[in-house]
Amino acid sequence: MDYTTKLSYQSMHWYNDGLKKAKIRDLSGAVTSLKKSLQYNRDNIAARNLLGLVYYGRGDVMEALVEWILSKNFQSHDNIANYYIQKLREKEGELEAINQAVKRYNQSLEYCRQNGEDLAIIQLKKAVTAHPSFVKAHQLLALIYMHTEQYAYARQSIRTAHKLDTTNEFTLRCLHELNQIRRSRNVKIKEGEKKDKHTITYNLGNEMIIQPVSNTLKDNAGLHTILNITLGLAVGVAVMWFLILPAITSSRQEKANIQTVEFSDQIATQTAQISALKKELDGYRSTSEETENVQATAASTQESYEIVMVMKAHYLANDMSDAAMLEELLKVNPDSLGTEGRKSFDEITETLYPRLCSSLYTTSKQNVEVANYDTAIVNLEQVMKMDEGYDDGGAMLLLAQAYENSGDQDQANLKYQKLIESYPDTDAAKNAKEALDAQNGGAEEEEEE
């Protein structure tokens, strides 16, 4: 089985695993599996489309659109991603509602930073009403309820989030915390119930006296009767006042309310039109920028993979010079490689880089001795790309000295300072500090003169 076939099999294995998890609403687990599938084969259209559906299922509509757009770029025809994108565009009202929900969620985060939990709750309630599958909004609402000790509401919100995504780590942690709080409150209630409310216990000498609580209601029955009559009269007057006043002002308030509703409807209509136009314009701009960024990233990743595969073949055949291999390997972005690509890259560089660092470092010393600083700088910059801390910072110190001798004092000082911060306990850092101190001392003498 060749390398490409193995990658394809691994990709399909993780796609099937993600599909199983998505069917049982294990959306967090499905995201993890599908991302692994795409690491093995970024052209797996089925995995990318399913990842978009999973994102959409937990309310992350923008992330879903990104995956479907990527899928469309990889395969423009006979791709169900076209259908998903078209359906979203047809539902302009739904997209606008989702956009408003995301804005309310972001505004709630800002209110939380300003200790405005009540305002944050109002915004989040509107967000989950407009976008019921927005898992992050349900989680944040539950967290605020827990912070304000409204545990019943917190439990309701976090259970909704759990139904949407059954294995989300944050949701499970909140459920566990709420269960712990419930147990501790039940224990306190049981302890309180054990105390007898009808007796008073105290010590008299060496004896414990238990005395029943006196019933003051029976002792003051006449006084309570008078108080009840007075309170009844006061309540009667208050009820009459609050019943008559609304009747007098109802017509005036009704007119004011009608005008307020009309103005609110006009403002809401204009705001919705402006927001829709702005959303459409931003959509055109973001789609173009996202497409360009995705294409650039894909091209960089492909180029890195191709370089690693070609260099590995030359490395095993031993038919290419070290300098030529170094020139190609320095073009690779290791972070964009998958597991197998990074493994091949490390196999080559673990042997090649130390050998080249030693050779270039020795040559650079000789160049500095004969005042050939430009060549030394070129060679040492390559050493920095391979191993920045080579020879316990000795290579960086030599590079700084070469810059200084060539007249580029700013670059020299940057290297000196980086050497002191990154490798503080080395002889090279000590020499760098002495060089900077000598410059500062010379500057002070000039000022005194």
380 and 437 both lie in a single domain: yes
29 falls within a domain: yes
Bridge partners (DSSP) of residue 202 are: 209
Task: Write the CA distances from 222 to 215, 227, 230, 233, 329, integer angstroms.
Answer: 14, 9, 13, 17, 100
Q: How far apart are the first and last CA of the chain?
A: 78
285 falls within a domain: no
143 falls within a domain: yes
Structural domain that includes position 57: 3-90
126 falls within a domain: yes
104 and 68 both lie in a single domain: no
Residue spans of the chain under pLDDT 50 = 196, 204-206, 217, 449
- What is the structure's pLDDT at 205? 47
389 falls within a domain: yes
Where is the domain boundary, 90, 119, 136? Answer: 90
72 and 168 both lie in a single domain: no
196 and 85 both lie in a single domain: no
- What is the structure's pLDDT at 322? 78
345 and 441 both lie in a single domain: yes
- What is the structure's pLDDT at 272? 67
Portion of the chain with pLDDT greater than 70, in percent:
78
426 and 402 both lie in a single domain: yes
442 falls within a domain: yes
Instruction: Encode pLDDT of 369-383 as tens digits.
Output: 888 889 989 988 988
24 and 110 both lie in a single domain: no
The enclosing domain of 70 has a CATH number of: 1.25.40.10
174 falls within a domain: yes
363 and 428 both lie in a single domain: yes
196 falls within a domain: yes
Bridge partners (DSSP) of residue 209 are: 202
Instruction: Encode pLDDT of 196-235 as tens digits.
Output: 455 555 554 445 555 555 555 455 556 767 877 888 777 7
> What's the domain count of the chain?
3
Where is the domain boundary, 57, 90, 123? Answer: 90
73 and 173 both lie in a single domain: no
103 and 180 both lie in a single domain: yes
120 and 19 both lie in a single domain: no
Where is the domain boundary, 48, 63, 90? Answer: 90
- What is the structure's pLDDT at 196? 47
72 and 126 both lie in a single domain: no
